Amino acid sequence: MRCSLNILDIIMNILSIDYGIIASLSLRGRKMNLGLNDIINIVIGVVFIGLSIPLFFRWKKLNGKVIIADQQWSTMRILFLVVGVLSVLSMFTQGASMSMFDIFRLTGTIIAVSVYMVVRDGVGEDGLVTGGKMIPWSEVRAYDYEKRKNVIAVFFTVESQNEKKPDDYRSKELDFSLQDEEQLKRFLETNLGRKYTRMKKNSK
């Protein structure tokens, strides 16, 4: 959920801008003989391209800093992959009937899905990477982990970023592959050994 919430925030910010664009496009569309389908394609293309831009810069900034990456197939990643696959399939089903607005939408969608798939959460020498952001180890107050059926879940308590609410700590959870369990435990012990704290967790 930690990364998905961050991505959804970006999408909602883009959509809040695009609601105004829809009205403008509707008026101009009448003059340009654009249909509703064309306008929807333009808006979807703008949303996904707008989403891919901040994701790309986050990936560029953090590329190579994640030493142990989280589990690849989270719910949000699977959803994005499905969107990408459906977009590619639609290219074959529509074929020659595709308009330039269809191509614009598909291009924006494929770019956003591709960038999102390469942005990974995890841990590195400098800190915790989640939602495309680096949280230094100095800002992590405590951590705990729990072995589950298919993953090892690691919980982090992170210091507040709100100066007015210094005690408003945040909780982060990353799920790692069981294959990385021993390496992950040694890594956390090295970087956060004294901050290990048993936490109350809700089993999934």
pTM score, whole prediction: 0.65
Report which of 156, 158, 160 is spatially closest to residue 199, judged by C-alpha positions.
156
Residue 94 · residue 106 · CB < 8 Å:
no
Residue 82 · residue 90 · CB < 8 Å:
no
Tens digits of per-residue pLDDT, 100-150?
A: 888 888 888 889 888 888 888 899 989 999 877 889 999 999 999 999 888
CA separation (Å) from 171 to 13, 151, 174? 23, 18, 10
Report which of 102, 66, 67, 106 is spatially closest to residue 86, judged by C-alpha positions.
106
**Listed residues 57, 88, 120: the one ending a domain:** 120
Residue 117 · residue 44 · CB < 8 Å:
no
Residue 177 lies in domain: 123-195
**Listed residues 120, 150, 169: the one ending a domain:** 120
Do 97 and 165 belong together in one domain? no
Residue 49 · residue 108 · CB < 8 Å:
yes
**Listed residues 95, 120, 145: the one ending a domain:** 120
Residue 54 · residue 117 · CB < 8 Å:
no
User: What's the whole-number mean pLDDT along residues 159-177?
Assistant: 80
Do 99 and 28 belong together in one domain? yes
- Angle at alpha carbon of residue 15, lines to 77 and 121, rounded to 5°: 30
